[in-house]
Amino acid sequence: MEKFKIVQALMSVVGISLGQLLLKMAAMNLHNPDALGFWLAGLRINAHLISGVAVLGCSTLLWVWVLRGIPLSIAYPFMALAFIFVPVLSFYVLGEPLGWRQAAGGLMIALGVIIVSS
């Protein structure tokens, strides 16, 4: 597989992971009156929510671009890397726990992606 397409696939997965983190942060601030945002149809729209949706949208468009040049059977396993990126980001940004089970599972996922992409 072309190296540039691998980089694009990884960028898309990182973006999707960041989008998930932003949505979690938005959910945590839904009832915070000090959070920057506004109400829309009974839902508190805040900066994290708007950013999360924007990042997910851009990452999805990049993913579609990636799929133009890579068979889905090879590209899709890269999406599994989000199962590594999201817990790691959650650990560092949100202080969520990260244990040996997540580390072991992440290692298996990474090995699987390496096998599929080689």
Instruction: Give the pLDDT of the chain (118 residues) as one tens digit per residue.
Output: 578 888 999 999 999 999 999 999 988 877 665 555 555 555 566 788 889 999 999 999 999 999 998 888 888 888 999 999 999 999 999 999 999 999 999 999 999 988 987 7
**pLDDT of res. 70:** 87
Residues composing the chain: 118
Rounded to two decimals, the pTM is 0.82
**pLDDT of res. 6:** 84
Residue 62, SS3 per DSSP: helix
Residues 67 and 79: their CA atoms lie apart, in Å, by 12
